[in-house]
Amino acid sequence: MRIEEIEEEVSEKTAKEKAFEYRLQTLTFEIQYIERSIARLDEITQTTKYWAILIWTGSISLLIGRQNLNEYVLFTSVIPLLFWLIDARWRFWLGYFSYRQGKISEFINSEDFEKSFEMKSFAEFNILDPLGKAYRNNTEFQKKRTLRRALKSTEVMPLYFGMFIISLAVGIFFNINSLP
């Protein structure tokens, strides 16, 4: 082996190691980014619930407080439905981050992660894909990430459906009692 070949091999190995270290740091950044995004989306969904409750109770209180507006309480049932859709949409986006976080966890806890250190390459694993775009055509991903599933979430459905039913019940009560 000539000296030039040895130098080339050493510099190539160093570049590969540097690229691997950079990708490893990027993976660490991606994990932190996903965690912050999930926390932020959780905060947004919580704030959405607060606003829904505030606007809904305020509307019902305002309409019940006025004798001539009692029969309009039934229309407050639209408020929880609108907020339900908004909240489900945020939860839908939250699902992208959660799915990707799960895939990163699977990778880190697999033998592939150890092999990537040996080979100094993340061969089959995409780095910096916080929304999991690489999984969009995956059937498991498509089954788990639907708006319908987000609407049925146990963190969303009971609250908004309950508000909807209460609005209907109170509205029907006032409409029946206002009949001549």
Give the pLDDT of residue 52: 98
Mean pLDDT of 122-139: 83
Q: What pTM does this model have?
A: 0.80
Residue 7 has pLDDT above 80, yes or no: no
Domain membership of residue 64 as a residue range: 3-177
The answer to whether 19 touches 122, Cβ cutoff 8 Å, is no
Residue-wise pLDDT for 70-102, tens only, equals 888 999 999 999 999 999 999 999 989 999 999
CA distance 174 to 63: 10
Residue positions counted in the chain: 180
Mean pLDDT of 121-135: 83
Residue 69 has pLDDT above 80, yes or no: yes
What is the helix (H) or strand (E) element at residue 106, kind and residue range? helix 78-108
Residue 17 has pLDDT above 90, yes or no: no
Confidence class of residue 166 from pLDDT cuts 50, 70 and 90?
A: very high
Sequence-distant (≥ 6) Cβ neighbours of residue 77 within 8 angstroms? 164, 167, 168, 171
The answer to whether 147 touches 153, Cβ cutoff 8 Å, is no
Percent of the chain past pLDDT 70, that is, above it, reads 91
H and E: helices and strands count for the chain: 6, 0
Mean pLDDT of 53-76: 91
Give the pLDDT of residue 138: 84
Q: How many domains does the chain have?
A: 1
